[in-house]
Amino acid sequence: MALLTLKGIGKSYRQGELEVRALDGVDLEVNEGEFAALVGPSGSGKTTLLNIIGGLDAPTRGSALVNGTEITTMKEAALSDFRLFQLGFIFQAYNLVAVLSAVENVELVMVLQGRSAQERRERAQHYLDLVGLAKVMDRRPAALSGGQQQRVAVARALAAGPRLVLADEPTANLDSENATALLDIMHRLSHEEKTTFIFSTHDRRVMERAERIITLRDGKIVSDERVGSEAHAPAA
C-alpha cells in the first residue's frame, strides 16, 4: 500500500475577479522509503502541494491519504495530532528556538508527543550523533553555523519518528559543502530508517540525489521519473 495517495487534488485562490488554479487535478502515489523531489519553475505549485500533503493547507477539491488516513476531511485538532505523530517538517528557515540548546530543540516535538524525559534525551542524542553534532549538542542556535542549525532541524524531524518527512527548500541557505553533507545524511537515513522524504526544491544538488523526480508545471504533474530506472510515467 502506498504511504501517500493523492487523487484529483486541486487548489484555487481568488485574486479579485479572477480564479487562480495553483493545483489542477494532481494524482500521485508515494511508497514507503522513497526519496523524492518535487521540482518545477516558481509558481508551478510545489510548495502548495507540499503544504497540502502536510495538512498545513486544505485543497479546494480532491483527497489526500497519508498512511491510510484521509487528512483532507479531518478536524483541526485531529489533524494537529496526526501531524505530530506521523509527519516531520524541514524548512528553509531552520525554525529553532533560540533559548534552547540543540538537544533541547530536538526534544521539543517529543515533549508534545508525551514521551518520557529519558526517552526524549536518548533519542535526541542518538539523532544528533547521526547528523554529526554529538560534540555541540549543548550549544544554542546562535553558537552554531547555518549548516549545523539545519542538521539540528533534520535531527528534530527524525527523532519524533515520522513516517513521512516533508522538506521545503532545505538546502537553499547552505553552501555546497554543507548542502552535500546534509543531503547525504538524509539519503542514508531514509534507507536506514525507512523514512519517506519528499522535497520541494529548485536545487540541482537535491535533484541529483533524489531517487524520484516529480515535475510540476502550471499546477499539474507533467512528468514522474524514477531516476536510474527505465520507469517514466507521465501523469494522466
Read off the pLDDT of residues 166-192 as tens digits, 9 standing for 90 and up. Answer: 999 998 888 888 889 889 988 988 888
pTM confidence score: 0.90
Place of cell 483532507: 72
Residues 32-90 pLDDT 10s: 999 999 999 988 999 999 999 999 999 999 999 999 999 999 999 999 999 999 999 99
Closest CA to 150 of 168, 162, 164: 168
Mean pLDDT, the chain, as a whole number? 91
Confidence of residue 231 (pLDDT cuts 50, 70, 90): very low
Report domain extents, the chain: 31-58+75-226
Question: Which pLDDT does position 194 carry in this prediction?
Answer: 87
Q: Which fold has domain 31-58+75-226?
A: Rossmann fold (3.40.50)
Question: Which pLDDT does position 1 carry in this prediction?
Answer: 67
- DSSP codes, the chain: --SEEEEEEEEEEEETTEEEEEEEEEEEEE-TT-EEEEE-STTSSHHHHHHHHTTSS--SEEEEEETTEE-TT--HHHHHHHHHHHEEEEESS----TTS-HHHHHHHHHHHHT--HHHHHHHHHHHHHHTT-GGGTTS-GGGS-HHHHHHHHHHHHHHT--SEEEEESTTTTS-HHHHHHHHHHHHHHHHHH--EEEEE---HHHHHH-SEEEEEETTEEEEEEETTSS-B----
